[in-house]
A and B are shown apart, each in its own frame.
Chain A
Amino acid sequence: MPGTPFETRALFDVSLSIRDGEFVGVIGHTGSGKSTLIAHLNALIRPEPGRVIVSGVDVGQKGQSLIEIRREVGLVFQYPEYQLFEETVEKDVGYGPRNLGLPDAEVKVRVAEALSQVGIPEELSGKSPFELSGGQKRRVAIAGVLAMRPSTLVLDEPVAGLDPAGREELLKLIQDIHKGGVTVIMVTHSMDDAARLCGRLIVLNRGEVAFDAPPAEVFRHGDELVEMGLDVPECVKLVKRLNECGFHLPDNLFRMEDVERAILKEVRGC
């Protein structure tokens, strides 16, 4: 609301392009503009001023069919389980495809496929989504977006509020989706997840892009990240401390297993 105390400037001077097949992480402190950025990606928010181009189509153009863009870019919000509304899991997942105007048979096929993709057993598809567990609900909600078969999947903190096992499962699922040829953009608060999974990180700070680089390079700027209210992955911290004590470990290790192997290698000299 311009001209009132409620006016805020969420994003400023953001210029970036994401190529097909990338796995991009978006990190930033609360209020840095992450959610605003991703809402731009499928025209839920139009930039003013600015442009967003999806697959060569200017999203802000007048008369542009929004449904085309939303078919192209699937957006999974924070706590997506709160958007479930239908009587059965099957119907809920089919909501997106039905909105695309697909015939019933096609909807059915897509629903079954999306549900198996997220690992929801078939016998649950007739149940009410409100009877499922938290983790299952979330996976059903993600299936609801996958059923639209987007070429790009955008996830806003997909693992927030899940237990460790649920987190790992869901991250694995997202990795599998990426391997299936879908471009993935994921907002996350976990530096460890960002480092482990993403090929490229976009760091937002007060609505501006602070870094846009592969994880190894981003986490080299540890002090600056801390200043932005962010952190570096535990592995990076460990490697840094060890190197200060005379080790010579490479700085692109983001998995504890990799760090372990590198240490052993150095200690044993093999």
Chain B
Amino acid sequence: MLKNITIGQFFPGNSLIHRLDPRAKLMLTVALIVAVFLSQGFAGFALVLLFVAMAARMSRISLKFLVRGLKPILYIVIITFVLNLFFQSEGRVIFRWNFIAVTDGGLRRAAYMAVRLVLLVTSSQLLTLTTSAISLTDGLEALMRPLKKIKFPAHEIAMMMSIALRFIPTLMEEADKIMKAQMARGADFESGSLFKRAKAMVPLLVPLFVSAFRRADELAMAMEARCYHGGEGRTRMKQLRYGRRDLAAALAVALLIAAIATLNALGVF
């Protein structure tokens, strides 16, 4: 059951998208998110969706995988949809029951918010699925480097992030193992009331925390043993370099944003 979580997971490959410079990919993902926020209607969303689908196709990530990644936010999407549906009272009423009224404006707004949320997650998923944790944090560090001037701990934050990302699958595996071990001792994680199920998590969470701390301790020791002392004067084996494909990708995203801006200007929603 834990295997279905794909957030933050890297999908190995060697496609054009995989080989983009991580800095470019990061900035383009931000641009893509801007594009999502910029679109004022479904026409813009359709463009973004088309763009994301094309990128996913180029990266040879199966759509099924992208869709599965949406599972954890399913409830958030539903809650957003329902809240917007009931608390938006513009437009014509199309459904009424006691004090609850659903208007066409509300329906539109609800769908708009839900689609936006889905698109936001999908576009950022594209980044994590095609970029390994290492290059992702390399990119982040490079992008944050200018902030060092104002004493912003760019390297430390990048290192923390890369360690966190690196350990998500490890901890997940660990959780799966402990879960199985407790199930072998008759634990039941799946039935009973909410309270009972929450209580059933204790035998899973305690060992998981213990092992996370143990791992952190061991990792700190191993890093120190290899003379890690922070980012000062540290060189890298893989130098980041922008290439022609990064330019092409940037142009593609720029075109997308321009198209959405045009749609907005023309008033096509």
Contact = CB atoms under 8 A, between A and B. Distances in A.
A39 B177 CA distance: 11
B185 A44 contact: no
A67 interface: yes
Contacts of B182: 83, 95
Given A70-B184, A99-B188, A85 B206 contact: yes
Given A1-B3, A5-B11, A85 B202 contact: yes
Nearest to B183: A44
A80 B178 CA distance: 9
A95 B178 contact: no
A71 interface: yes
A74 interface: yes
A95 B3 CA distance: 26
B180 A70 contact: no
Interface in B180-237: 180-188, 202-203, 206-207, 210-211
Given A5-B12, A82-B178, A95 B184 contact: no
A42 interface: yes
Interface in B214-264: none
Nearest to A97: B186
A50 interface: no
A144 interface: yes
A95 B62 contact: no
A159 interface: no
Taking each of A67, A70, A83, A130, which has the highest tally of chain B beta carbons within 10 Å of its own beta carbon? Answer: A83
Interface residues of A, number: 28
Taking each of B11, B185, B203, which has the highest tally of chain A beta carbons within 10 Å of its own beta carbon? Answer: B185
A75 interface: yes
Contact of A3 (B62, B178, B180): B62
A109 interface: no
Interface string A56-78: 00000000001100110011010
Interface residues of B, number: 24
A99 B187 contact: yes
A5 B14 CA distance: 13
B96 interface: no
A145 interface: yes
A24 interface: no
A99 B210 contact: no
A70 B180 CA distance: 11
Nearest to A85: B206
A70 B186 CA distance: 6
B186 A82 contact: no
B185 to A, nearest CB: 4
B184 A77 contact: yes
Nearest to B65: A4
Contact of A85 (B174, B184, B203): B203
Interface string B159-187: 00000000000000010011011111111
B180 A44 contact: yes
Contact of A80 (B65, B181, B183, B188): B181
B203 A95 contact: yes
Contact of B207 (A3, A75, A82, A100): A82
Given A3-B64, A5-B11, A70 B207 contact: no
Contacts of A100: 186
Contacts of B12: 5
A225 interface: no
Interface string A119-140: 0000000000010000000000
A123 to B, nearest CB: 23
A82 B210 contact: yes
A84 interface: yes
B185 A145 contact: yes
B130 to A, nearest CB: 13
A250 B188 CA distance: 51
30 contacts: A3-B64, A4-B65, A44-B180, A44-B184, A67-B188, A70-B183, A75-B181, A75-B184, A77-B180, A77-B181, A77-B184, A82-B174, A82-B177, A82-B178, A82-B181, A83-B181, A83-B185, A85-B203, A85-B206, A85-B210, A86-B203, A95-B182, A95-B187, A95-B203, A96-B185, A96-B186, A99-B185, A99-B187, A148-B185, A148-B186
10 interchain residue pairs of minimum CB distance: A99-B186, A85-B206, A96-B185, A75-B184, A83-B181, A77-B181, A85-B203, A44-B180, A85-B207, A96-B186
Interface of A: 1, 3-5, 39, 42, 44, 66-67, 70-71, 74-75, 77, 80, 82-86, 95-96, 99-100, 130, 144-145, 148
